[in-house]
């Protein structure tokens, strides 16, 4: 037994150290941590339990039979984050460049199956060179198994992909199937075809980061939801996100006691939002004033900036906040903002996270590019997501809500549980100026003084159909509230709705607009 234990200890030490000590130095020289160092930052200290540490591949040919390192280039297992179970797998770039082969894939499949069975979140720490070419089609089949499990786990357990190095070819589709993608600037890249292929096919010259770096996916493509400068900060934010999410779709998100009273006055909101509908402001300031301790985690901060999606706590309970951003494109909805908000709403609904929608929207962005780009079907994605959501939903009109965009932003007519408005709200088909131009066009054109008549008709339209209480009088707004009471009222509404139960018609699944 003593000899067996000594052999086991030696094998474990070899597995942790890796086959080549210089590989660790090369990893650090690139500003990157090793797989085990990353896991240590992600999980609570001493909580990691590894799976199949001594697994080795059985492939042969192209020299593989002479290279059979332990772990086969991926570290898998589970541990805890703030005391709750989380499963993890981390590519070890020191071994085969983190490339996926048959044994590597089977280890990932096993940890994914365990996560689904245990009902616990899954975090992948990605730093790999794609499929192991020497193993041919078996490597590709391994990716297929991962994709199938990603899809099976969707909406069942939270799935988070953390990009800490290269991720190329088919390997990039697994992160795309997960709920959230984190990336580190300069060291992480994602693309289907690399710069060399792009150059040979199209003649375009571009760097790895220029093609698929964190800044590109965070601000241009929208593939990355969170972008950070270093691995330590990135992994700390993954822990924070996990603290806001339930372990699975059968649980409510975890609540935490806090020292920020639910009834705290929000008097600053009376001044934060300008009365003039065309004056910009930063809706993040409104969010910070409402939520606990002014803390929130914004999703896709750099992409589709005309809408803000964020996780926060209100009275100690996690909520998802969707808010138009007047500071960017006047807060209009367009193709990208509709997609961004729709996916966020769907995630919150899948994992029992209540939705708070802050509305200040002048409409959908007009233009040939938007129409030809499919704004109808893309805007319908957000409409579908809200209509399909059964979690508690509270919407608040901060200032204006015009046309179809008003309906889409969780209005009473599409199922919001509670709809509120501030006293200066304007809810209408369109702005008074545009409405007057349509309704009174002939009268204005025939007048001796068109400008005077137009101004008069605008005033009349605003007085009759756009006064703050028009929607409240017709039951489309449940209450008009003092901005200083916003936090207290929202907390009370969400408390009332905490155990809301709603069922959708029986069906295999819907067919959302694409």
**Catalytic center residues:** 169-170, 404-405
- The values of phi and psi at residue 68, to 5°, are -130, 65
Q: What are phi and psi of 367, to 5 degrees?
A: 145, 155
Q: Which residues contact 147 (CB under 8 A, 6 or more apart)?
A: 173, 174, 177
Question: What phi-psi label fits residue 45: left (phi over 0), alpha (psi between -120 and 50 degrees) or beta?
Answer: beta
CA distance 107 to 234: 25
- DSSP per-residue string spanning 80-143: EETTEEEEEEEE-TTTGGG-B-HHHHHHHHHHHHHHHHHT--EEEEE---SB-GGGTHHHHHHH
- Rounded CA separation 503/285 (Å): 35
Place of tokens 């199938």: 148
Is 130:100 a contact under the CB 8 Å cutoff? Answer: yes
The residue written with tokens 């990691």 in the block is 48
**DSSP-based three-state secondary structure for 160:** strand
């Amino acid at each position: 037994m003593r000899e067996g234990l000594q052999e086991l200890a030696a094998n474990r030490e070899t597995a942790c150290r890796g086959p080549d000590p210089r590989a660790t130095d090369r990893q650090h020289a690139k500003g990157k941590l090793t797989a085990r160092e990353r896991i240590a930052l992600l999980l609570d200290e001493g909580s990691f339990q590894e799976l199949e540490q001594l697994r080795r591949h059985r492939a042969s040919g192209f020299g593989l039979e002479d290279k059979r390192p332990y772990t086969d280039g991926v570290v898998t297992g589970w541990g805890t984050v703030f005391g709750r179970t989380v499963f993890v797998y981390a590519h070890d770039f020191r071994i085969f460049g983190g490339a996926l082969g048959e044994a590597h894939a089977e280890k990932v499949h096993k940890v994914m199956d365990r996560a689904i069975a245990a009902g616990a979140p899954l975090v992948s720490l990605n730093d790999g060179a794609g499929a192991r070419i020497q193993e041919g089609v078996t490597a590709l089949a391994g990716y297929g198994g991962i994709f199938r499990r990603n899809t099976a786990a969707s909406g069942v357990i939270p799935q988070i992909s953390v990009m800490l190095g290269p991720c190329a070819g088919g390997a990039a589709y697994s992160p795309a199937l997960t709920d959230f993608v984190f990336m580190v600037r300069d060291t992480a890249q994602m693309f289907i075809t690399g710069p060399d292929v792009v150059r040979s096919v199209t003649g375009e010259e571009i760097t790895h980061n220029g093609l698929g770096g964190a800044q590109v996916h965070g601000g241009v493509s929208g593939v990355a939801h969170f972008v950070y400068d270093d691995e330590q900060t990135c992994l700390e934010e993954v822990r924070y996100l996990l603290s806001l999410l339930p372990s699975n779709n059968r649980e409510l998100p975890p609540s935490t006691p806090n020292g920020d009273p639910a009834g705290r006055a929000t008097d600053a909101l009376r001044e934060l939002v300008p009365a003039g509908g065309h004056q910009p402001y930063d809706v993040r300031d409104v969010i910070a004033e409402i939520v606990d301790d002014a803390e929130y985690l914004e999703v896709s901060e750099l992409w589709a900036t005309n809408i803000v999606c964020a996780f926060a706590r209100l009275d100690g309970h996690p909520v998802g906040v969707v808010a138009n951003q007047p500071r960017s494109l006047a807060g209009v909805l367009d193709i990208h903002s509709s997609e961004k908000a729709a996916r966020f709403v769907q995630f919150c609904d899948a994992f029992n996270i209540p939705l708070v929608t802050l509305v200040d929207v002048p409409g959908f962005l007009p233009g040939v590019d938007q129409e030809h780009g499919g704004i109808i079907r893309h805007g319908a994605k957000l409409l579908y997501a809200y209509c399909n959501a059964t979690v508690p939903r509270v919407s608040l009109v901060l200032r204006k809500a015009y046309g179809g965009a008003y309906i889409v932003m969780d209005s009473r007519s599409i199922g919001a549980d509670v709809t509120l408005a501030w006293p200066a709200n304007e809810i209408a088909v369109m702005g008074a100026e545009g409405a007057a131009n349509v309704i009174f066009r002939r009268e204005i054109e025939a007048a001796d003084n068109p400008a005077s008549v137009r101004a008069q008709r605008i005033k009349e339209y605003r007085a009759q159909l756009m006064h703050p209480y028009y929607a409240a009088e017709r039951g489309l707004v449940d209450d008009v509230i003092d901005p200083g009471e916003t936090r207290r009222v929202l907390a009370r509404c969400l408390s009332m709705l905490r155990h809301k139960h709603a069922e959708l018609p029986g069906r295999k699944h819907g067919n959302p607009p694409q």
